Structure 1
Amino acid sequence: MAALRAVVQAGSGRALLSTPRIVHTSRANMSFSSLSRSKQVAAATVAVVSAGGAGLALMLQQSVRASDLELHPPQYPWSHAGPLSSLDHASVRRGYQVYKQVCSACHSMEYLAFRNLVGVSHTEAEVKALAEEIEVVDGPDESGEMFTRPGKLSDYFPKPYSNPEAARAANNGALPPDLSYIVNARHGGEDYVFSLLTGYCEPPAGVEVREGLYYNPYFPGQAIGMAPPIYNEILEYDDGTPATMSQVAKDVCTFLRWAAEPEHDQRKRMGLKLLLGTALITPLLYYMKRHRWSVLKSRKIAYRPK
């Protein structure tokens, strides 16, 4: 029995060793080119529709969401937006009047002094009269006491609140930002500020705004603590310009652009001079390179022994 068991085991082992391990399977020769024309068109249509649907769904998911209804401000045709366009200084003057009578009640401009207005929107005498309207705490005097004096050209615009805590307490916990560089500090610049000032509206269906806040689709979060600051005929311009809402918003945005970039006109003027100088000197440089320097560059120095 032991011998028979050994023979059986040896035979099964040789059988296992002799069994091929590679299993051949039938290969399906399926390719796009082997399909009929109608099936190719159908497959291509399904692929295009699927890709387009996925792309559209992704775009809608990124741009329109129930929890994010913020609008991007459009681009407005500002008169100073051109590469060689200067600021409208009459609008800057009206914009300062809007800031003084409307915006300065809550917002400061601590980086702007009265002297900065001289030669831009007002004469020196007018700016002196504007500065003297405020009382400035100065000192100490010879006796060590603080005193008040009329403002002068070197003084900065007064702040509406003495400290940030007082500003928050007066505005339901919201801190009104300083407007000195607000145009450069917000994406969209004056387009954003203009859209924010004129974009107050009723919240859409399904959106609730808690008490003390106002709905504005251009503000991040859509709920802003600032009440609508401007409306038609909110003030009367000194030059007689109709004070519509859009006109008031345009003027204060132009003023804020100048405040954030006082060198705006000078920078463009210097750029124009640079372009004119470049246009004059380029032909001269080309002549020197082509007819003068080329002679020196292509000359050959050879040594001739005696």
Structure 2
Amino acid sequence: MPELITTRGTFTREELGLILPHEHVFTDLGPMEAANWRGVKLDEVVDAVSPEIERAKAAGVTALVECTPEGVGRRVDVLEAVSAATEFPIVVPTGVYQEPRIPDWVREASEDELAEWMCTELTDGADGTDVRAAWIKVSTDDDDPDGIADSEEKILRAAARAGTATGAVIGSHTLSGDVVHQQLDVIEDAGYSPERFIWIHAQAEPNRDLHAEVADRGAFVEYDWIGGEDQSDETYLDHVEAALEGGYADNLLLSQDRGWYDPSEPGGGTFRPYTYLVEEFLPKLEARGIDEATVRRLTRDNPFDAYAR
């Protein structure tokens, strides 16, 4: 039986409700060399983030997926502390961010070594904790829309090998649909299935035909800046309607890319609540005539199917 691995143990489909598939609790977006994430005090993060987790719980959110990998301040002990304080399940990633925020140890590691590291985090515990990673987060350089850097391809191939060995899904921060096709080619060549791949930030690709092409290859297509300033709710509603009309209800994920405590900012910066999707966007989706069963699939079943193993 598929189970979702979290900071609070494993959960079956029936034990969870609405799941946010792309959010952040703790992320360091400051200069990489400053490594502000290393010196943070756990109680300060818990005090800042816990009220926002409680707001999400009150709105009906039952779990969220943390999307911070190595390179942008991943701290699984922080996630574990927030989770324990709020009794709220957080889904943890292994994996590595994009150029130029790839740590030196990753640059120096071989594909074999990276695959072994990911497998260990997925099966034994991540980042020096007993919390198992549930999935693999990778990325491609936002400033290079034409291809994948050699370092990013090495990480991706290692992820494909670790995903094949464990059943873990791979999710990639990729802003270009053409690059997603390249990534799918790489993972297929490594023996991994596109059906276990999530195109994160698909809304950044203006060509909606590419959204459909990627879904046709079996991958999940995720619209996850909902509530942000880059695109209006009407644009996201149009994205969702087009996907549903194309027959891609089973491939679609919805989230906000919100939160987070940033240790490079005073007091962790300005927190963006996790509640916009539930309180603002879903009522608009229902007003467009999207039925309750479909909304349930998009917000409960699909996230579980994507991240469970």
Q: Which is strand-richer, 1 or 2?
A: 2
TM-score clears 0.5: no
Taking structure 2 as the reference length, the TM-score comes to: 0.19
Output the TM-score relative to the length of structure 1. 0.19
